Chain A
Amino acid sequence: MLSVKGLKANVGDKEILRGLDLEVAPGEVHAIMGPNGSGKSTFAHVLSGREGYEVTAGSAKLDGTDLFELEPEERARLGLFLAFQYPVELPGVNNMYFLKAALNAIRKSRGEDELDAVSFMRLMKEKLKVLHLDDSLLKRPVNFGFSGGEKKRNEIFQMAMLEPKLAILDETDSGLDIDALRIVADGVNALRSPERSMIVVTHYQRLLDYIEPDRVHVLAKGQMIRSGGKELALELEEKGYGWIVDGEAA
């Protein structure tokens, strides 16, 4: 599904990713953990094509297609989805209109017909229910005036609507209380399937109690310094990052 090899990327003159490797097979959920400033969010942004990052070496392929050759919208149409750590407020842009434009752009690129209004509404209502979101959300501007929890749930709602191949959840747990976290995690778990892979980027082990990963990676100083099963997350919770990061440095 996703194959990242020797990825190096800069922000300005500063090298943030320093030779990062990652292989994600179809249906797998990988957690990327690491201390602040380790490059977790940079990795998520570089994959999705955000401006302001310069890839200096390495490759990232989604089902064999080089992501770095594509515009952000082309990556999305290929099946890549980024759930933002800080979802952007779009005053004046209606949520439903936005979702319809996104879904139809993706369907069109796959050679599918645009959804008619009735099927679109039905699909939306079905997905809203899973995320415990109210219908009224559809009439509001995208993320505008949403609470922190609503914003995060709206991200997962979009993911449910767009049905990506590979979803990257960038610190989706940050700022959520335990109830909201459970709802978000339930939404994510409902989307797990043998065809869909996920990368869960998080600082804390907490989210992984609800979204159980197949693999856990520790990212520090721009590289994956340790990979293991889900028990690695528990170990990190217990001992902190210090023992791994310092061990690596030594």
Chain B
Amino acid sequence: MSAATNSSRQPAEAAEAFAGWLHHLGETVAPASIGADADSASGWIAAERQQAAERVRAQRVPTGKSEGWRYTGLRSLIDQGFVQIDEPLTALTPDDLEEVLVPGLDAHRAVLVNGRYSASLSDLGALPSGVRVGSLSGMLESDPDALRGLLTRLADEASHLFATLNTAAMQDGLVLLLERGALLERPIEIIHLSVGMEEPRVAQPRHLISLGDGARAQVIERYVSLGDALYCTNSVLEIALGRDALLKHARVQQESANAFHITSLYLSQDANSRYAGVNIGLGGIWARTDLVTRFSGEHADCDLRGLYLAGDKQLIDYHMDVRHGLPNCSSRERFKGILYGKGRAVFDGLVHVARDAQKTDAAMSNRNLILSANAEVDTKPQLEIYADDVKCSHGTTVGQIEPEALFYLRSRGISASLARRMLCLGFAGEIIDALDSEALRDYVTEQVGERLERAPLD
């Protein structure tokens, strides 16, 4: 693929500035609200956070040469000087939520504002037995043992800088726990709402989803903003799936054009579990998502799909790290991107198959449609295979709209701009169709269509 531009490389002084910023954050957040008292029942998390803060301070800051950050410049993030604010924002009413809702979506609704759970905006309705939904800080106070062995356990082994920072600085987040055999038939929608503050602030929410053996759930996460707020979200989501558990997980990132977004998602799958994730990345000026999968039992299946649109000034970056350490598991990563204006995207996917992971079935693909001469995508699918009896494939394409197809539509009276939009939506449709909820499919199609309608044609 095309080489990284020089501007995306990390100059030494930027690394230094970043280190300063990080250390500042690391210092200031360590004694924050949750799990502060080492002697309390949640003392273990206080210890975890202290250690993470130390790791942040000791961490080597990524540079342009660091693997995983080669195409993702940190300069613009550092320059904002984001600060963390621990005050919760309480002034919103359910009316404020109206403009970001998905019409016709029937779901249990949990709402977080600037990274904090809002009971007054949430509308959980009646939850089936064996299902718990609540705020992280609340649960750490009321029932910390329910989180022990889960929270920070999944992220740790492969955590990168921002995840470590999140562990040190986490304030609140959403917890969804399903007991063994519990069924959440109606989807739960988690709205991550961000509202601008006077100074550019960073929220570092920490979320946890745990499905016991045989449990099933459908989760729709949406990252939205009110207005064109400038802020940063550095979130970590840990997901643990027990044996035979099934999670359908839609993630729609449609934040403001000024938002910086970081998500590190750590997924752990036990035997026979199934995970089907659909990632839609539309918003933000700088958005980085890391999807990390580990298998702890055989015959588990992980399906990761994604659609990203990057327009002018936007950087959208997906990193994937799927490790097959055990035999007989399968994984598919299928991402599609549409780039326009001066949009940039990064797809960096790694599937690692260990020597003992025989009968692994893994397929990774990344296809991109580039609508302008100035857009860029850096795509790097990688397979590292150490087992000899596996079925693995990967492929990547970067192309443009077919002139033949465009002419065909225009010859039927359809304008060039609508024809382009129809072809782009046709390209994206395969991913959008993987969303389970019809209301969400319609909504995402509309969101994508609107962005394409505003997109410059060259």
Contact B410 A73 (CB under 8 A): yes
Contact A92 B411 (CB under 8 A): no
Contacts of A82 in B (CB 8 A): 411
Look across to chain B and name the residue whose beta carbon is closest to the beta carbon of A107: B413
What is the 8 Å Cβ interface bit string for chain B, positions 405-448, against chain A (1 contact, 0 not)?
10111111111101100110111111000000000000000000
Contacts of B157 in A (CB 8 A): none
User: Which of A48, A71, A92 has the most chain B CB atoms closer than 10 A to its own CB?
Assistant: A92
A88 and B419 alpha carbons, distance in the complex (Å): 13
Contact B428 A84 (CB under 8 A): no
Report whether over half of chain B's contact residues are helix, strand or loop; otherwise say mixed.
helix
Interface residues in A52-74 by Cβ distance below 8 A to B read 71-73
Contacts of A103 in B (CB 8 A): 413
Contact A90 B408 (CB under 8 A): yes
Q: Which 10 A-B pairs have the closest CB atoms?
A: A92-B426, A76-B413, A102-B412, A93-B426, A92-B429, A88-B408, A72-B410, A105-B413, A106-B413, A73-B410
Contacts of B404 in A (CB 8 A): 88
Look across to chain A and name the residue whose beta carbon is closest to the beta carbon of B425: A92
A109 and B409 alpha carbons, distance in the complex (Å): 16
Residues of A within 8 A of B (CB): 48-51, 71-73, 75-77, 81-82, 84, 87-88, 90-93, 97-98, 101-103, 105-106, 109, 141, 158, 162
A101 and B418 alpha carbons, distance in the complex (Å): 9
A16 and B144 alpha carbons, distance in the complex (Å): 80
B159 CB to nearest A CB, Å: 38
A73 and B411 alpha carbons, distance in the complex (Å): 5
Q: Is B94 an interface residue (CB 8 A)?
A: no
Contacts of A90 in B (CB 8 A): 405, 408-409, 422-423, 426
Contact B408 A73 (CB under 8 A): no
Contact B427 A102 (CB under 8 A): no
Q: Is B125 an interface residue (CB 8 A)?
A: no
What is the 8 Å Cβ interface bit string for chain B, positions 381-412, against chain A (1 contact, 0 not)?
00000000000000000000011110111111
Contact A71 B410 (CB under 8 A): yes
Contact B410 A92 (CB under 8 A): no
**7 residue pairs from A and B, CB less than 8 Å apart:** A51-B403, A72-B411, A76-B411, A77-B413, A88-B408, A90-B426, A162-B413
Given contacts A84-B411, A90-B409, A109-B413, 10 further A-B contacts (CB under 8 A): A72-B410, A73-B411, A73-B413, A76-B410, A88-B408, A102-B413, A102-B414, A105-B413, A158-B412, A162-B412
